[in-house]
Amino acid sequence: MDNNVRRDIEKKKEQYRKNVQVVVKAMEENGILEKRIQRLENLDEYYKRGERAKRAHRLITKGAAIEHILPESKEMEDADFYQLMEKMLTTAEAKETWKAYQEAHPRPPEGGDS
C-alpha cells in the first residue's frame, strides 16, 4: 500500500473519531445518553425480575408436588420439614434413584451454543 493511501485512511479514521465525538457531545447535550442508559438499566432490571419470577414459579410448583405426595407436610414446622427431607433424600435408595435419574437425563453442558 502506498503512502498516499495510508494517509488517506488515517485522515478518514481521524474524521470518523471527530464525528463520533460530535455525535456523543450532541447526545449528551440533549440528554439522549442518559435516557439510553436508563433504558438499558430498566431492561436489565426487567430480565432480573423475569429470572426471579421463573425461580419463584419453579419453587412453588415443586413445593406443591411435595404437598400433593405428602399432604401432612402442610402442617409441619419448617425445621421438621427440612429434617425429614434431609433424612429421606440422603438414604442409599434415594441416592441410587438420583444417580439413575441423572444418567438417564444428562444435563447439556453450560454455555453451549444450543
pLDDT tens-digit series, residues 4-58 = 888 989 999 999 999 998 888 887 777 777 888 889 999 999 888 999 999 999 9
CA distance 30 to 26: 6
Decide if 30 contacts 36 (C-beta within 8 A).
no
Q: What is the pLDDT of residue 112?
A: 53
Is 2's pLDDT higher than 70? yes
CA distance 45 to 37: 12
What single string gives the DSSP state of each residue in 58-111? HHHHHHHHHHHH-GGGGGS-HHHHHHHHHHHHTSHHHHHHHHHHHHHSPPPPTT
Average pLDDT over residues 83-103: 94
Residues whose CB falls within 8 Å of the CB of residue 114, separated by 6 or more in sequence, listed in order: 108
- Mean residue pLDDT of the chain comes to 89
CA distance 54 to 43: 17
Is 114's pLDDT higher than 50? no
- pTM, full prediction: 0.51
